[in-house]
Amino acid sequence: MSPDNLPHRLQASAERFVTIRRDIHAHPELGQATLDTSALVIRLLEEWGYQVHTGVGGHGVVGVLRRGQGGKTLGLRADMDALPIEEKNGLPWASRHAGLMHACGHDGHTATLLAAAEQLALHSDFNGTLNLIFQPDEEGLTGARSMMEDGLFRRFPCDAVYAFHNMPGFPVGYAIIKSGGVMASSERVCITLKGRGGHGAMPERTLDPIPALGSIIGALQTVVSRNVSASDAVVVSIGKVQAGTATNIIPETAMLELSVRTLDPQIRQQVEQRIRSIVQGQAASFGVSADIDYQLLAPVLVNTPAETRQMFEAAHRALGADNVMGQVSFKAMGSEDFAWMLQEVPGCYFGLGNGTGEFNGCSVHNDHYDFNDELIPLGAACWVELVQAYLR
């Protein structure tokens, strides 16, 4: 198929996929519980002749399509989950599930991959194995891992894996594609200080964890300001502090929770070492013990150079050279669980503009957000171009 008539063909089917997108939007599902969305994906993939594997790590779905004798394998991933937000935009297709909303556009990511799936199955030619991966719970950062722990890449090997996210504030159909670290690692650090409680009037008979807590809060500010270069992006935020029950009681324990974000795997390690040694050193100086529970929710998302170049070229063909940006700063301190997939398989995660202005430029995770339906044929064209070039 020539690149010229590809967007044309996708435009012809666009209305159907807009209806599908709005149907998913009206019926949002949270976290791992993407039962009905998965059922819709399964039904459509089966209709188009995909070999469909259900229940991969919960409600994850993999649609496999083999063509020709080629040995190459390619994975394309879409997320399906919504958010616990009450929708306020008054659209006819607004959420019918109280307190839940597709406020991150995962309804659109799913509909766009479905539009590409139909095009690839019914109207396109390629040579190799295509694995379409539909995952639950991106927002909770568990969906990718639960599919991988269920053998995703062992059962459906992929030479490369790709995903995109819509980006409000950029013109619709603009692609932002960059190699290297583009989304931050996310860690939750829970620190519990343990001393010896007692009467507030007799502090000498206690080991008070509260001064230690105060000192740790101050000292942790130096991780970003003194331990990493000013040009490296690092966030250490203390989001939760808890200690004590009454003014005349010195508590036994005190705790704090941090959110830590970095954009470079090596710096992530350095920051972890600094936090551990500051907490242990400060606690020891006050004679209290410190227990540190360090949980990696998502690693740094790192796009590999060769696979990023292939995405760049496919987007050039699908969207036109003027609409693909490679140099613009695409770095965010937000996290994305596709990073786990990129730790195992090379690939690229890229952005597609959702539009500008008050409506389509509305931020994700806002109660007035909506995925821009114009993006469906444009995103699908990027997927089809990539598959046809990668599985030649």
- A 10 A CB-CB count for 363 gives 12
* β-strand pairing of 324-325 with 175-176: parallel
CA 116/CA 17 separation, integer angstroms: 10
Q: Of all residues in this chain, which one has the CB nearest to Zn ion in the complex?
A: 104
DSSP string, 201-242: T-GGGSB-HHHHHHHHHHHHHHIIIIIS-TTS-EEEEEEEEE
Which x/- pattern over 88-107 shows residues binding Zn ion (rule: CB under 5 A)? Answer: ----------------x---
Q: Helix, strand or coil for residue 168?
A: strand
Minimum distance, C-beta of residue 299 to Zn ion, in the bound complex (Å):
17
Nearer to Zn ion, 73 or 354 (CB): 354
CA 272/CA 215 separation, integer angstroms: 18
- Which 8-state DSSP code applies to residue 321? G
Nearer to Zn ion, 83 or 213 (CB): 83
Task: Tell me which residue of 135, 106, 21 sits closest to 365, measured CA to CA.
Answer: 106
Under rule CB under 5 A, which residues in 244-273 are in contact with Zn ion? none
Nearer to Zn ion, 272 or 370 (CB): 370
Nearer to Zn ion, 275 or 341 (CB): 341
By CB under 5 A, is residue 325 in contact with Zn ion? Answer: no
Nearer to Zn ion, 73 or 335 (CB): 335
Question: Are the C-beta atoms of 73 and 99 separated by less than 8 Å?
Answer: no
Question: Are the C-beta atoms of 187 and 295 separated by less than 8 Å?
Answer: yes
Nearer to Zn ion, 126 or 350 (CB): 350
Number of residues located near Zn ion, criterion CB under 5 A: 1
DSSP string, 263-315: SSHHHHHHHHHHHHHHHHHHHHHTT-EEEEEEEEEE--EEE-HHHHHHHHHHH
Residue identified by tokens 């995903």 is 163
- A 10 A CB-CB count for 291 gives 13
User: Please, is 214 exposed, middle or buried when counting C-beta atoms within 10 Å of its C-beta (0-12, 13-18, 19+)?
Assistant: middle
Question: Are the C-beta atoms of 295 and 184 separated by less than 8 Å?
Answer: no
Nearer to Zn ion, 174 or 390 (CB): 174
| Token pair in block for residue 176 | 């932002």
Q: Helix, strand or coil for residue 335?
A: coil
Nearer to Zn ion, 126 or 349 (CB): 349
Binding site for Zn ion (CB under 5 A): 104
